[in-house]
Amino acid sequence: MNKQKIAAIAAFFLAIYIGVPWAIAASGRTDFYYTLTSVALLSIASAGVWLTFYIGRINIGQGAYALAGGYVSAILMTQYGLSFWTTLPVAGVFCAVLAVLIGLPILRLRGVYFAMVTLVLTEVMRLTALALSVTQGAKGITSIPLPGELSLFGITLIPDFATLENPKIGFYWMAVTFMVIAYAVLWRIVNSRLGHLCRSLQQNEELASSIGVNTAYLRVIAYSISSFLGGIAGASFIAISQSIYPSSFQVTDSVNFMLNCFLGGLGYVFGPMLGTLMLYFGWDLLFTTGEYQLLIYASLLIALMLALPNGVLSLLDKKKAQP
């Protein structure tokens, strides 16, 4: 790892852990904690979508796993009295197992066929949440407790969020830490043997299969990791909102997760993170345009993707290519 990359990573950590809290404290705009927390969690779900793009599949169903993860966490906390920190990995694993069961038949599809099937998944999950008694139907699940204390050998690692003067700060620290871990794992996967094999699926799946690569296994593994991240993001979101409804994650959210990847750049591990930040703040900044908000937002998004088809991060490659 060269000095430039080390400096960039150090600057990033300083920005999210020191710079942002200092700027918010100085401005007094504590509401920005919620905004940035949302961006961090949405970028985790988008990272999962990016991984399925990495194996050559267009995934528009991440909202289904975010919703499933949220409900698993909410049910375990409200009906079984488990702590958030226990339900979080359970929600992720549940979504990963669910993805294996769903993925085995649908991952045989490619292109628009796979995209259309995944697009339906979010709506199917919403209707399932409406129909089941354990999810309390349209009423949803409310009064979800805040994350409690996490201790190890009597040492408090994370305090009870209910005792914090401003829980928004606690959620911000939690979200950005999850985001850092998720992208560190994603970067490690991409640069491992597993990542190189996954890339071969994107380039030429038939050729990869002909030389002995177990393509079916790779597809399921990548899809389950993707869904695990979706479940973690969903479970974290309901801890903040302290409620979940069948409409908490919709088809629109699944589409946005995909757009985050396109905007940041499909060829870059950190593309979904940048794409999420730009889309989230872009929408909020256009709030003053009123009824023209969606039109202007969509027009700018189309123009940006036409100008930078490989994503915003492709500007870095163009800069390096200049003499």
Question: Per-residue pLDDT for 113 more than 80?
Answer: yes
- The pLDDT of residue 1 is 59
Question: Is residue 34 within 8 Å of residue 242, measured between CB atoms?
Answer: no
- As given in the structure block, the two tokens for residue 3 are 């000095």
From first CA to last CA, the distance across the chain in angstroms is 23
Q: Is 82 left (phi over 0), alpha (psi -120 to 50) or beta?
A: beta
- The pLDDT of residue 323 is 54
pLDDT over 90, % of the chain: 65
CA 217 to chain centre: 23
Q: What global pTM score does this model have? A: 0.93
Sorted by where each starts, the structural domains of the chain and their CATH numbers stand as: 31-321 (1.10.3470)
Question: Which secondary-structure segment (H or E) carries 152?
Answer: strand 150-152
More confident residue, 92 or 205: 92
- What does the mean pLDDT of the chain come to? 91
Question: Per-residue pLDDT for 243 more than 70?
Answer: yes
DSSP assignment letter at 164:
S
